[in-house]
Amino acid sequence: MKENNFNQNKCWGGKRECAGRKKTCRKKVPFNRRINEDVLNILREYAQNHNMTETEALESAIILQSNIEKLKGDKIMKIVIPSQEGKLCGHFGHCEYFTFAEINPETKEILGIEKKVPEDGISCQSASWIASLGANLVLAGGMGGRPLQIFAQNGIKVVAGCPEIEIEEVINQYLNETLSTGENSCGGEHHHCHGHHHEYHHCHR
């Protein structure tokens, strides 16, 4: 693949001059992925058929892909669950890892599940790290006031007092509005889901 020549008078591919047209080859569009040669050939043909420079075709494709990814991201719900041994962990800051689940809220389908641990280790301050990764919702057992405050400041919904059950089960119960929650044993305000409430554990200090 030839290097894109955005800063010279000739457009990418060198097939014709930019004279008489908007010099899009000087307009830098951020893109950090390697482009397949087959895709480049399609863009070249598209540019020829639509009286465009190859750079214009490339930039249009990049912008279109970015818009598609943004639209897809807007529709996905990202749920985070403090976890231990495949189940929800009763204390937010004492879990083994955090489960990140991507959900299609329209179909209630779990699109993907991933285990993550912050580089600095797990603590109540992990709330800032979780917020930076684009979470929409946190399902937890006990949670102290500090992480609750961080999540509230970042517009992230928290459901505290969740039972220590299998990860996929707690997700499915939440999505189907059958999740029963108890007291947030670590204090602070909390949200109750639909369903009956029950007594819950005491978190370890």
Number of domains into which the chain is organized? 2
- Residue 160 half-sphere exposure, CB side, CA atoms within 13 Å? 22
Same domain? For 90 and 171 the reply is yes
Does residue 202 lie in a domain region? no
* pLDDT bucket at 52, cuts 50 / 70 / 90: confident
Same domain? For 129 and 55 the reply is no
DSSP symbols for the chain = -PPP-TTSSBPTTSSSB-TTS--GGGS-----SPPPHHHHHHHHHHHHHTT--HHHHHHHHHHHHHHHHHHHHHH-EEEEEEEETTEE-SBGGG-SEEEEEEEETTTTEEEEEEEE--TT-SSTTHHHHHHHTT--EEE-SB--HHHHHHHHHTT-EEE-S--S-BHHHHHHHHHTT-------TT-S-----SS-----PPPP-
Same domain? For 59 and 90 the reply is no
Same domain? For 70 and 27 the reply is yes
Q: State the average pLDDT over residues 87-111.
A: 92
Same domain? For 36 and 122 the reply is no
Does residue 33 lie in a domain region? yes
Domain hosting residue 118, numbered range: 76-175
CA separation for the pair 24, 22 (Å, rounded): 6
Does residue 103 lie in a domain region? yes
Same domain? For 102 and 81 the reply is yes
Structure tokens at 163: 């039972």
Whether this prediction's pTM lies above 0.75 is answered by no
> Which CATH number belongs to the domain containing residue 147 in this structure?
3.30.420.130
Residue 133 has pLDDT above 50, yes or no: yes
Does residue 2 lie in a domain region? yes
Q: State the average pLDDT over residues 67-78.
A: 65
Does residue 38 lie in a domain region? yes
Same domain? For 98 and 70 the reply is no
Per-residue model confidence (pLDDT) at position 48: 82
Same domain? For 171 and 81 the reply is yes
Same domain? For 168 and 86 the reply is yes
Residue 14 has pLDDT above 80, yes or no: no
Q: Single out the residue in 11, 46, 74 at which a domain terminates.
A: 74
Same domain? For 58 and 70 the reply is yes
pLDDT in tens, 134-165: 999 999 999 999 999 999 999 999 999 999 99
Does residue 48 lie in a domain region? yes
Does residue 155 lie in a domain region? yes
Does residue 9 lie in a domain region? yes
Same domain? For 13 and 40 the reply is yes
